Amino acid sequence: MLSDPIAALATPPGRSALAVVRVSGAGAFEVAAAVVEGFRAAPPRVATLATFRSADGEPIDRGLYTRFPAPHSYTGEDLVELSCHGGLFAPARLLAALHAAGARPAARGEFTRRAVLNGKLDLVQAEAVGDLIDAVAPVQARAALYQLEGGLSRRLAELRDSLIEAQALLSYEIDFPDEDDGPVPPERIALTIAGVRDRIARLVATAPSAERLREGALLVLAGRPNAGKSSLFNALLGADRALVTEVPGTTRDAIEAHTDFLGWPVRLADTAGLWDSPDRIERLGIEVSQRYLSAADLVLLCVEAGRELGPDEAAIVAEGPALVVRTKADLARPAGEGLGVSVVTGEGLGELREAAAARVFADRMSLGDLEPALTRERHRTALLGAQSALADSLSHLGPGGDPVLTAHHLHQATAALDELLGAVDVEEVLDRVFAGFCVGK
């Protein structure tokens, strides 16, 4: 049943001052009344102090409960929030009592899923709830909050409105096919459609850096053995994560760590040195390095300051995107291009962070994080679908064209936007979006 009562812990389990448990669905108030002493019908949305008891009347804790009658709740259903002391016992016993009183354990993301089904949030906003919780850098949190507050949704709704307008204009054309220049000139319809197509193109262009912002840009430290990659990895993280020795071939397997460069989220990867090694295990490590090189948003190519770039290194730069980092700048003056750094003196580390962040987040820096942007592949795929449907619709417009086919493709484009916002009932899309959520969301 879709609206059966569900209950789950909304805070992380473990030692804490407080824990919050949520119950939502038809019958949530009856479930709560079985556990909360003196649970009363009034007043809504006001926290009330009460004793919580298990089915056999044993006291569990004293805490606060708040009643949110539908539709004025997160899920749009009757909802109760109970807060008790944290730790291992009180929250678990409170939850068990609520389950015994008839609430089922919630599935991943089920609270937010219900909010979407009840029209409290659209799908793009629901994704932002997950992004806000998962944010590790301030810019990620700001972008998620903007999306949650409807920044992207509003932009998509405007596009949808324009498409509906084009469909309306087109229906005149279909209804009065014999009038030579019809009540609406086809050029006007074409202009409206082309306008939407261009606005979609501008949104699609935000996808690479916005997806990067959400996931963290992948920066890969690569170069010859002993170039100082692992030392730089540790220095940039501010922690000794990777082994460093004077023996070439120290790093065998890639290591990844999350950090931020001046507030911009990055995934930093240290890799095995690239050379023709006779050692089988080292060769396997080098294959991993190659895969990282091709997946990188930016390669930080480490070359000792004292020497010229070899052809292997020049090839990596040519393939790009890469930034040449001249390591061990305390030992020699950098020869040729690249940014000099030293992990001994700390020289160049700040500049490197700045240059790398500027390279991978250039357009987010110029746009600011408060512009609608496509933060997921799902958004990009939907809008690319809409874009090609619009191109098809334009190709059937005008002399010799078929307005019915134009209308059909316009419809497809609108459907792509609807699926993106979750306006149509698409269980499969919902399943995919909420698979990554935790049970209390």
Ligand X SMILES: Nc1nc2c(ncn2[C@@H]2O[C@H](COP(=O)(O)OP(=O)(O)OP(=O)(O)O)[C@@H](O)[C@H]2O)c(=O)[nH]1
Q: How far apart are CA 403 and CA 59, in angstroms?
A: 71
On whether the CB atoms of residues 201 and 391 are closer than 8 A, the answer is: no
Interface with ligand X, residue 328, by CB under 6 A = yes
Pick the closest to residue 302 from 246, 252, 352 (CA basis): 352
Interface with ligand X, residue 370, by CB under 6 A = no
Q: How far apart are CA 304 and CA 164, in angstroms?
A: 60
Upper half-sphere CA count for residue 169 (Cβ side, 13 Å): 19
**Positions of E strands within 146-216:** none
Candidate residues 191, 239, 281, 344; the one interacting with ligand X per rule CB under 6 A: 344
Q: How far apart are CA 255 and CA 344, in angstroms?
A: 22
Interface with ligand X, residue 231, by CB under 6 A = yes
Written as one letter, the residue type at 122 is: D
Q: Which of residues 250-279 bind ligand X (CB under 6 A)?
A: 250-251, 272-273
Interface with ligand X, residue 244, by CB under 6 A = yes
Measured at CB, which residue is nearest to ligand X? 273
Q: Which of residues 218-277 bind Mg ion (CB under 5 A)?
A: 229-230, 250-251
Residues 6+ apart with CB under 8 A from 428: none
Pick the closest to residue 261 from 165, 350, 386 (CA basis): 350
How many residues sit in the footprint of Mg ion (CB under 5 A)? 4
Interface with ligand X, residue 227, by CB under 6 A = yes
Which CB, 239 or 424, lies closer to Mg ion?
239
How near is the Cβ of 290 to Mg ion at its closest, in Å?
Answer: 16
**Both tokens of residue 182?**
């019809």
Interface with ligand X, residue 306, by CB under 6 A = no
Which CB, 63 or 285, lies closer to Mg ion?
285
Q: Give the Cβ contact number of residue 192 at 10 Å.
A: 20
Which CB, 250 or 388, lies closer to Mg ion?
250
How near is the Cβ of 47 to ligand X at its closest, in Å?
Answer: 55
Candidate residues 13, 150, 249, 401; the one interacting with ligand X per rule CB under 6 A: 249
Which CB, 300 or 343, lies closer to ligand X?
343
Interface with ligand X, residue 284, by CB under 6 A = no
Q: Given the DSSP bridges, would you call strands 322-327 and 298-304 parallel, antiparallel or unpaired?
A: parallel
State the residue for tokens 């500049």: 351
Candidate residues 24, 140, 342, 406; the one interacting with ligand X per rule CB under 6 A: 342
Binding site for ligand X (CB under 6 A): 225-231, 244-246, 248-251, 272-273, 327-328, 330-331, 342-344
